[in-house]
Copies of this chain bind each other. A is one copy, B any other.
């Protein structure tokens, strides 16, 4: 809890406290020096943290505080999803502008809570500060591994299929604030087949596939025609093609993963994730590097996702 709390911020902690009673695995919630969670199950502890800054990761005046709160929680849940783990609890810190900070804090909290509640994740602690700078919000997410363990970035093998949930590109038009973290989808996939490697698309499809390649010591070819592209990306008309948006835009928060070819076929046939289409978008190769395959040819694909028209 804060070392910089004003009386007004204490009241906010009290307000938060009434909304997070000790229940289930929360043995001590907000209001003491730290939270205490029951972790007697013995499963591995997952921990991730993300800081969102006004003007950089969102524009408060455009997005509004509730959507910013949603995003702050959702990006962390997406990291837990990318490990194929279960979220358990969250902690949230905010640095509030001095003007209107209390109302802002409540709206942010409501947004965080909406997303956290959807994944049964109590907010067990926090820190509330006021300052002369713009809004800053930091969320830490704690989760636990399933009995199948976690899925890392480093297990892709040459010949593996590269697959993705949903469609990609143009998230700046709204999805970067309003996406649903793929927590349930990751757990369903993890049960359905052995996942060799997985990541959430935060930096951009090409960049994130490149992370998997670097960690796995292999390369990948993405098939231009097979990449699912959002309507948002198709409508951007900013001089970049829809494909470039799908390859280069960040913050889609879809899952990209590597599976054995036979498991990939099984996933395409069974589509085990209700409401989300799984697509094959490429394959891993032994040679290190990243390529875009298009119309029978292939070109080197920079992690930024820039594409040159193939002759």
Cβ of A5 under 8 Å from chain B: yes
Cβ of A241 under 8 Å from chain B: no
Q: Contact at A37–B45, with CB atoms within 8 Å?
A: yes
Q: Contact at A93–B51, with CB atoms within 8 Å?
A: yes
Q: Contact at B33–A153, with CB atoms within 8 Å?
A: yes
Q: Roughly how many angstroms separate A150 CA and B22 CA in the complex, as a whole number?
A: 15
Q: Roughly how many angstroms separate A27 CA and B85 CA in the complex, as a whole number?
A: 14
Cβ of A143 under 8 Å from chain B: yes
Chain B residues with CB under 8 Å of A130's CB are: 56
Chain B residues with CB under 8 Å of A133's CB are: 53-55, 133-134, 136
Distance to closest chain B CB from A173 (angstroms): 17
Q: Contact at B250–A75, with CB atoms within 8 Å?
A: no
Residue of B nearest to A253 (CB): B3
Q: Contact at B48–A27, with CB atoms within 8 Å?
A: no
Q: Contact at B50–A46, with CB atoms within 8 Å?
A: no
Q: Contact at A83–B34, with CB atoms within 8 Å?
A: yes
Of B47, B83, B138, which is within 8 A of A138 by CB? B138
Are A40 and B38 CB-contacts (below 8 A) given A32-B153, A91-B48? Answer: no
Cβ of A185 under 8 Å from chain B: no
Of B48, B124, B215, which is within 8 A of A34 by CB? B48
Of B3, B43, B202, which is within 8 A of A202 by CB? B3
Cβ of A114 under 8 Å from chain B: no
Of B5, B32, B215, which is within 8 A of A152 by CB? B32
Q: Roughly how many angstroms separate A140 CA and B46 CA in the complex, as a whole number?
A: 13
Please report the total number of A residues contacting B with Cβ < 8 Å.
72
Give 1 or 0 for each of A133-146: 1 = CB within 8 Å of chain B CB.
11010101111010
Of B57, B83, B95, which is within 8 A of A32 by CB? B83
Cβ of A269 under 8 Å from chain B: no
Q: Which A residues have a C-beta under 8 Å from some C-beta of B? A: 1-5, 27-28, 31-40, 42-51, 53-57, 75, 79-80, 82-83, 85, 89, 91-95, 124-127, 129-134, 136, 138, 140-143, 145, 150, 152-154, 199-200, 202-203, 215, 250-251
Q: Roughly how many angstroms separate A264 CA and B238 CA in the complex, as a whole number?
A: 72
Of B37, B127, B215, B251, which is within 8 A of A51 by CB? B127
Q: What are the nearest 5 A-B pairs in CB distance?
A: A34-B48, A33-B82, A3-B202, A51-B93, A138-B138
Q: Which of the listed residues A37, A83, A140, A202 has the most CB atoms from chain B within 10 Å of its own CB?
A: A140
Of B40, B56, B124, which is within 8 A of A129 by CB? B56
Q: Contact at A35–B51, with CB atoms within 8 Å?
A: no
Of B40, B49, B136, B202, which is within 8 A of A140 by CB? B49
Chain B residues with CB under 8 Å of A145's CB are: 36
Q: Contact at A3–B127, with CB atoms within 8 Å?
A: no
